[in-house]
Amino acid sequence: MSFIINLPLFTVILGLVAVVLTSFLNGKISKIINIVVEITAIVFGILVTIYTSKNGYVEYQLGHLAAPFCNQIRFGPYEGVLAIMIPLVMLLSLLAGDSHAKRDIVPNKIHSFYTLLDLALVALIAIVYTDDIFTGFVFLEISTLSSVGLTMIKNHGRQIAAALRYMIINLLGSGLFLLGCIFIYGETGYLSMTYIQGKITEIFASNQSVVGLTIAFTLISIGLSVKSGLFPFYFWMGDTYGENTTTASSVLSGLISKGYIILLIKFIYRTFGINNVLQTSLLDVLFILGALGMIFGSITAIRQKVINKMVSYSSAAQIGYVFLGIGLGEVGLVAATFHILTHALCKPLLFSTSNRLIDASGKRKKFANLKGTGYADKIAGIGFTIGSLSMVGCPLLAGFISKYLFVTESIMDMSTTTGKVKAIITIIALVVSTLLNTIYYLRTVMTIFNTNREETFELKRNKYDPMFVISTICFIALIFALGMFPSSIISLIEQGIALLG
């Protein structure tokens, strides 16, 4: 059997070694280690994707005992695509925010910053690959701990309050998730996702009571929805994302929140089984909350008076898109997954460029003070414009493909009344959300390129930052690549979803 099947485990082990090393080495060496680990993880992810696209999914046993008595990981093209995206976005986010990290984080804590990034990478990769619900919970908590640490890494009193708020809401979600896992174990006697699904299918087929399983799925769905920021649980995003250092904001919004959604997808398709879930009404609830999140998240973003809070709360709307796709069932999962990739690329670009625009205005964040900053820092202005246009759904960009997929996939299941209603709601929510996106994103773009300034202060020319320029160009190139050549990625996602259950 190919050596490549060992690479998912090696990625996790390599990340854990990096966590240990960066915990006591200085900041410069820790950053190099972090970059090396991320590049290695990208290469491993590419190899895994190529291998599984040709050979199908792999079940990798950890230990000498066969499942369900030992832990195992299971992966295919779906996991491979995600395993490429996570370290790639983390690497570009690190480069984009490197100068801000040096400014915002006290020197004796900078190595801890890279430790937390390594820990987040390990947790997210493990969540993608795991086939065990308890392992999923363990790395879910590791992800939570690393994200709380990233929230408070900036030496600012407001961030401590934001970290406490974020920790409380995440612990609530974790508690509900753990209770759900306890119910599953009590009903099935297994921790392996594969064996749990088999037992659940037997229970549904034999017309036994499914109250316990319904409670379990409800608790898990609520817990992961709370942690990811689904409507109405997104109130914490403003300070958690908006007041943080650039890399931390990018990773928290672009990746950490998606990790929780990825785990929910695995529970729906790998643990419960989509056919069993469809016998309940829980996907319909996620669909409605997703549609409401698309609209109310956008309304909240419009109401913000500072750019970083606007970018933060727009994440609530984008999380809504993903949950709407999940709520559509199998027909919507391709769109939901593609939008996970789209948002993972666009949101770090928006955070990194908006923070550079704030620097150009002398650290003034209000929209009125940002006039002309797009000319003062042209790379940031262009980057913010491309990210905004993608989120609005401009053709040739990744966001357009996401919205196109939501529409086309929603109308694929028109044979039932429920399918027709969902298709109508999807189209209405997309239209309303897109209009709202246009209001707050294009308003900001017009502001930063508006030279009609009434302010008395002078705009600053930001110091040339090659790492920021490189990462911005890479983000823009990837957004255009997904928008102009989406077929290969969509094909891999479809192939992976077919093997997911």
pLDDT digits 0-9 by tens, 42-82: 999 999 999 999 988 888 888 777 667 678 888 999 999 99
Which 3 state secondary structure label does DSSP give 30? helix
Residue 215 neighbours by CB distance under 10 Å: 15
Contact predicate 296/429, CB 8 Å? no
Query: Would you state the pLDDT for residue 455?
Result: 63
Contact predicate 67/195, CB 8 Å? yes
Query: Would you state the pLDDT for residue 67?
Result: 66
Interatomic CA distance for residues 132 and 263, integer angstroms: 11
Kindly state the tokens that stand for 144: 């939570």
Query: Would you state the pLDDT for residue 414?
Result: 73
What pLDDT band is residue 151 in, cutting at 50, 70 and 90? confident
What pLDDT band is residue 35 in, cutting at 50, 70 and 90? very high
Query: Would you state the pLDDT for residue 205?
Result: 83
What pLDDT band is residue 457 in, cutting at 50, 70 and 90? low
What pLDDT band is residue 157 in, cutting at 50, 70 and 90? low
More confident residue, 281 or 43: 43
Kindly state the tokens that stand for 160: 């401590």
Average pLDDT score over residue span 446-470: 79
More confident residue, 252 or 457: 252
- Which of 242, 255, 235, 250 minimizes the C-alpha distance to 156? 242
Which 3 state secondary structure label does DSSP give 75? strand
Amino acid at 309: K
Cis peptide bond N-terminal to 486, omega within 30: no
| Range name among 170-174, 277-281, 295-299 with the lowest pLDDT average | 277-281
Give domain limits for the chain.
Answer: 281-501
Query: Would you state the pLDDT for residue 432?
Result: 94
Distant-in-sequence, close-in-space partners of 200: CB < 8 Å, separation ≥ 6: 187, 188, 213, 271, 272, 273, 276
Does the pLDDT value for residue 456 go beyond 60?
A: no
Query: Would you state the pLDDT for residue 389?
Result: 95
Cis peptide bond N-terminal to 466, omega within 30: no
Task: Report the mean per-residue pLDDT for the chain.
Answer: 90
Kindly state the tokens that stand for 304: 């913000």
Amino acid at 132: D
Q: What are the pLDDT digits (tens) for 206-263? A: 877 788 888 999 999 999 999 999 988 888 888 888 888 899 999 999 999 999 999 9
Query: Would you state the pLDDT for residue 99?
Result: 87
Query: Would you state the pLDDT for residue 87?
Result: 96
